[in-house]
Amino acid sequence: MTTGTTIKSRDRDVILQALAAGVVPKTGLRHVQVGRAAEVGALVRDIDRLSDGGAAIRFVIGEYGAGKTFFLNLVRLIALERKCVTIHADLGPDRRIHASAGQARGLYAEAVRNMATRTKPEGGALPSVVERFVTDCMNEAGRKGAPVERVIDERLAHLQEEVGGYDYATVLKAYWRGSEEGDEVLKTSALRWLRGEYSTKTEARQALGVRSIIDDNDIYDALKLLAAFVKLAGYAGLLVVFDEMVNLYKLQSAQARNQNFEQILRMLNDVLQGNFGGIGFVFGGTPEFLMDTRRGLYSYAALQSRLAENAFATNGLVDLSGPVLRLQSLTPEDLLILLSNIRSVFAHGDPARHLVPDEALPAFMEHCSKYVGEAYFRMPRNTIKAFVQFLAILDQNPGTGWESLLGRVDVAPDVENPSADESEGSAEGGDDNLASIRL
């Protein structure tokens, strides 16, 4: 709990604005994190495996509103603390793992734009990672009395055996020349290539003299090269986080879905067989994305056999060693702590400034339970939104009694998460009839 911990106004405002809108704050997660210790521990072990040169892959599965995105952001922050580099992106109609019209390259470019390190957790860390690598090469060249370009080639020698690896060295040498000559255009061109932002080989060749670009067909190979590169730059490994995987489930074309599933199978096989190290994948999706035998991962026989869950994990028993990690529901006790943490955030961490007493928290939960049922803590997004709004009214209207305000909380049908295609029904899984609390 955060009681007694001073919370900066900036962090407070970011947290509350995000929670009030039903989205995950980018900063301050430690102030509101509760529960799921076993799941967090499993991902921490995966991250440690990256640092040891291994690989990991996880499918984080949870209902809509159950806290997947929050969990994924927390995992990324843990990876940053352990000196990993993280990249992340949400899948969408214009971003997917395999495509032929630029959507896969768009996913890669978005993920690399969001690259984060411990010193740049907000993203945009690619220039600093490249600069760190080039500076190390320059220092080594100075010690050896060798040309910098030769040192870069030596360091990247084993990358040149991979698809696109030779051009990696060419691009990084171009970046070094840009640094030496003060040529910002050349440096920017090198970063554009590394981000996968060139759409034609001709344009890239004119700017950098390379023979290839990162294109739709090369995304997985580019991710492996990027993982090897960040290790050479002195980081522990690369964690790749893709959320909203349900967008693959929504694809109308069976061929397009299967092509994406083939790429996921390739990643899964490489990780499980130990073919490549220093990289981890975390995918966030709904149960339908995983288990639907018509359109989900289970529709692809090879994936179904590899992702089948432990048959002995029944009657409350869990197995966190497999690729699939199902987010356990928050308990009512967890939600009580979470509401207490939110109350503390509102008060800047000062117990003397709490807007409601301790007894208001179970009263609010009882009210939620009465109108929403057990879903108020299983899928707590709307409960949290309502509680933030509840405190906001008390904060802006001094003298208002919390008891009387709680009695005026209204209940309305949840209109969030409409299906992208009404003819396909609810693709994100089953909250259409869930009631949400609104003030």
- Where is average pLDDT lowest: 102-116, 193-207, 371-385, 392-406? 371-385
What is the structure's pLDDT at 414? 43
3-class SS of residue 310: coil
Between helix 381-396 and helix 9-21 the angle, nearest 10°, is: 130
Cα–Cα nearest to 47, from 98, 82, 92, 12? 82
Domain boundaries, the chain: 36-124+236-326, 127-216, 332-438
Cα–Cα nearest to 25, from 81, 73, 85, 89? 73
Does the structural domain 36-124+236-326 have CATH classification 3.40.50.460? no
Question: DSSP labels for 184-197?
Answer: HHHHHHHHHHHTT-
Torsion of CA 130, 136, 140, 142, to 10 degrees: 90
In percent, the amount of the chain with pLDDT more than 90 equals: 56
Predicted confidence (pLDDT) per residue in 241-250, tens digit: 999 999 999 9
- Whether 434 shows a pLDDT value over 70: the answer reads no
**DSSP H helices in 22-67:** 37-51
Predicted confidence (pLDDT) per residue in 172-184, tens digit: 999 999 999 999 9
Predicted confidence (pLDDT) per residue in 209-262, tens digit: 998 999 998 899 999 999 999 999 999 999 999 999 999 999 999 999 999 999
Torsion of CA 71, 72, 77, 80, to 10 degrees: 150
Q: 375 falls in which pLDDT band (50, 70, 90)? A: low
Instruction: Determine how β-strand 410-413 pairs with β-strand 435-438.
Output: antiparallel
In percent, the amount of the chain with pLDDT more than 70 equals: 88
For residues 273 and 253, give the distance between their C-alpha atoms in angstroms, rounded to a whole number: 30
For residues 205 and 222, give the distance between their C-alpha atoms in angstroms, rounded to a whole number: 18
Higher-confidence residue of 36 and 435: namely 36
